[in-house]
Structure 1
Amino acid sequence: MTDNRDHPDKLGERLRRARGAAGLTQDQAATAIGVARTTLVAIEKGERRLKMAELVGLAELYRVSSASLLQAERADLEMRPQFRRANHPGLSDEAVSGAITLLERLATATVELDRLLGHTPNHDAPPPVRLDARRVYEQADDAALLVRSRLRVGMAPIPHLARLLESELGFHIFTRSLGAWQISGVYGYTPQSGPCVVLNAAHPPSRRQFTLGHELGHFMSTRDVVDIEGGGCEDSAVAERFANAFSASLLMPAPALRGRVAEITDQSGKFTVAAIFFMAEEFAVSREAMCRRLEGLGLVRVGTWDKVRHRASEIPANKLLFEETPFTRHGRLGLSAARAYDRELLSEGQLAELLVLDRVEVRELLDAYLGDIDEEL
C-alpha cells in the first residue's frame, strides 16, 4: 500500500498543480489558509507536512476534493490468501470471487478513510495461538477466556460482540449480501487494514453472531494462513475445529451455562425446552447453537436438538434482541464515512463508489450517522 501522506513531495506536487489550474499565486493560497508564503512553498516542495485543516482549506480554494489530492494511488489490498469458506459442492467460483472482491474493496475503504481523516488505526491485538491438533479444544477455551478478559466482559453474554471487536481489537465488521447462502462470512487481514469481516446479510442475526465468533477464532489462530474447510488439508481441518470451538466457548462460556442451568432448575424444579430457547436469547445465539452447546457440555442429553427443533417455530423469538440498524450494518466505517462527508472530503458519489453502495444506501447511512455526529454534550 502507498500512503500519499507518507510522501509529502508527491502531495506537494499535486497541490502545486491544483493551485496552477485554479489560477492562484502562492501568496493568495497562503493567505487563504493563514500561513506564510514560505510555508506554502515548503509544503509544495515536500519539505513540510500538510495539516488536515490546511488540506481541507486548499482543496476548497482550488475547487477539488481532498480525496483527489490524497488518493493519487489507491490503497488496494490483496486479501485472497485469508479467505475462509466452507467447502460446499454447490458454491460457484463466481460467488467466492465476488465475496473476496467485496472484502478487499471494503478493507481498502477503511484504509483510505483513515488516511483522509488522519486516523491512526488500532491494531493492538493478542498474538495468535500456535495450534496443536492434540489440544485444539483446550486451546480454544483458553483463547476464548483471553479474549473475554481483553473485552472486559467476564462470563456475561456478549450481545454486541461486533461493537466490542471494533472498539477494542480494531476490527472492521460489515453486513452485506454475499451472493450465496453457503458463504457465512469472509475474513481477511493485512497490516494496513487490520482484521476485516463481512457477514452474510441473508443469514439470521443469531447465525451471524456465531459466524463472527468463528472468524475471530481464525484471527486468534491462523491469522495469515490459507484455510478452506474441507479442502483436504489437515491443518485446515484443525483450524476449523479451533474456530468453531472458540466461537462456542466465547459466546457460551461453560461456567456461565452451568450456573444458569442450575439456577433455572433450582427455581422451577425442571429444565425445559423453553428454558433452552430463553438461554439462546440471553446469550445472543441461535437456539440450535445453544442446544448443541448444552449437549456438548453434558447439561442435556445428546440428541436433544433433534427432538425439540420442531418446537422452535412454535415459540416465537424476541426480534428486538437483534434489531437491525445502519450502525450494525456498517460499523465504525460508517462513522468514518460520515465524518469525511461532513468535512467535505468526499461527496455522496465518491462514498457510494468507495463503500460499494448505491446513492440511496449512502443517504441512509449519512442520515443515521450525521444526526448526532456534532451534537455538543
Structure 2
Amino acid sequence: MPLNAAKFGRKIAALRADFGQDLDVVAGSSGIAAERLGALELGKGEPTGDEVLILADYFRKDFRFLLTDDARDPDEGIDILFRERGDELSSSDRVAIAEFALLCRNEAFLERELGVKRPDRTFAFRPHGKFFKRHGAECAAALRVHLKFSDKQAPRDLFATIRDLGIRVFRRRLENSNVSGLYINHPDAGPCILVNLAEGMARQRFSAAHELGHALLDEKPTTLSMVGEWNSETLVEVRANAFASDLLMPPALLESVPRDQWVDAAQVSSWAERLRVSVPALLAALHAAKFIDAEQRATLRQTTLRPRDPPDPELEGNYTEAQRVRKAVLLDRGLSKRYVDLCFDAHNASVISLGLLAEMLLTTSGGTSEVAALFGRSLASD
C-alpha cells in the first residue's frame, strides 16, 4: 500500500503537539529543516526513508506506525495523558515519559525474542464496599500474604518485589519534582510503573508503592500521580496512599512498638531509617493509626532529624566515584540492571545487532563497552 502523505503528516503534527514542541525545536534536534517539517505535516510530498526513521526515533515510535494508515499507536495511553494533563508536564518530561514507554516496549520485545518467562501474575484483589481507604489496607495485607511475608515484614528491595509480581518498573529523572510517578497498563508491554528518580530513595519507594496500588486496585489504564494529590480527597489517591503506607509500614509492626517510642524524635528518625521511609510518611501512618495526635505529629515534624536516605539498590557495589557518577547518569535515563541484562543477553545470543543494542541502551555503538563495564557485562563481537 502506498504511503498516504496526508495521514503521515497528521501523525507527525499530532506527535509534535503531544511533545509540546514547535517546528524549530524538532528541526534543531532532528536535523530536518523546519520548512521541510512543516511541508511534511501538511502532506505536501512524501518523506524519504531517512526522514521516516529520523522522526520515528525522535518521537520514540516504531516507524511502521508512521507508515501504515491503520496502525495502532502502541503508546496511545501516553498520548492521551499528554493531551489531558500536558499543562503539568514540560516538554522534556514528555520526552522522558515517551522514552519510558519505549523502554517498556523494548523490554517486552527482548523477553519475547529470548523466550524469557514472565512472572505469573497470580495476585489479584477485588475490593468490596465503598470505603476506599480500607480497600488499600486490605490489599496490602493480602499482598503481604501472597509474598509470604510476615504481618510485620516490609519489602526491602521494593523495585524487585514489583518486578516479581509481573509489573515492569523503570525510574527516570523528571524535571517536574511534583510528579511522583506514573502507571500505565500498556497494550503491548502490560502493566508498567515509572518512578521519578529526582526524588530521594525514601520518596521513590513510597512513589513506587503508590503506583503499585494504582496497578492493583484501579481500572483506569493510565494514572499520573502528583505529590500534592497524595493528600487530596480523590478516592483512588486515598486508596493508593493507604496501600503504600500499609505495605511499607506494616500496621502490626507499628502496633508492636512501645507507644513512648512514637513520641520520641530520635526513635522516630531511627524507625524511619529502618523502614526505609521518610519521616513525614511514618508520622502520617502513626497519626492514621492514632498512635500520635495532630499536635504531636506537628511537633515531631519540626524536631525529628531526617535519617540517611536508603541505599539505591542499583548503585550498591564496588565502584569508583567516577563510575558511580556515570552509572547514576545512566539510571537517570531509565536503564535498570534487569533491562540492561536483557539487552546484552539478546546481543550475545545474536538476537539483536550491535547497532540495535546501542539504540536500546540509549547510547552510541562506542558507548556500549562502557555500559557493559558499569553493569558487569561482557560484550560479544557482532
What letter is aligned with 1:103?
A: F
2:91 is aligned to 94
CA contact (8 A) 2:168 2:191 kept: yes
Q: CA deviation at 1:128?
A: 4.9
* Aligned partner of residue 115 in structure 1, secondary structure: helix
1:157 is aligned to 154
1:166 to 143, 163, 168: 163
Q: CA deviation at 1:100?
A: 3.5
Q: TM-score, normalised on structure 1?
A: 0.65
Q: Which runs of 5+ in 1 are unaligned?
A: 1-70
CA contact (8 A) 1:158 1:284 kept: no
CA contact (8 A) 1:252 1:293 kept: yes
2:340 to 310, 323, 334: 334
CA contact (8 A) 1:173 1:199 kept: yes
CA contact (8 A) 2:154 2:248 kept: yes
**Correspondences of 1:227-246 after superposition (within 5 Å):** 227=223, 237-246=234-243
CA contact (8 A) 1:186 1:199 kept: yes
1:299 to 291, 295, 306: 291
2: CA distance, partners of 1:354 / 1:210: 28
Report the CA distance shift for 1:79/1:297 in structure 2 as closer, same or farther (over 3 A).
Answer: farther
Q: CA deviation at 1:284?
A: 1.2
Report the CA distance shift for 1:76/1:346 in structure 2 as closer, same or farther (over 3 A).
Answer: farther
2: CA distance, partners of 1:82 / 1:241: 26
1:143 is aligned to 139
- Is 1:111 the counterpart of 2:103 in the alignment? no
Cα distance per residue 1:316-355 (max 9 Å; x no partner): 6334644552698604222212212332433454234224
Q: Quick one: percent identity of the two aligned structures?
A: 21
**Correspondences of 1:174-323 after superposition (within 5 Å):** 174-190=170-186, 192-227=188-223, 237-262=234-259, 265=261, 271-312=263-304, 315=305, 317-319=307-309, 321-322=311-312
Q: TM-score, normalised on structure 2?
A: 0.65
CA RMSD of the aligned region, Å? 3.9
Cα distance per residue 1:192-217 (max 9 Å; x no partner): 42221121111001001000111110
1: CA distance, partners of 2:85 / 2:186: 26
Report the CA distance shift for 1:113/1:72 in structure 2 as closer, same or farther (over 3 A).
Answer: farther
Aligned residue pairs total 292
CA contact (8 A) 1:76 1:108 kept: no
Higher relative contact order (CA 8 A, sep 6+): 1
2: CA distance, partners of 1:341 / 1:287: 44
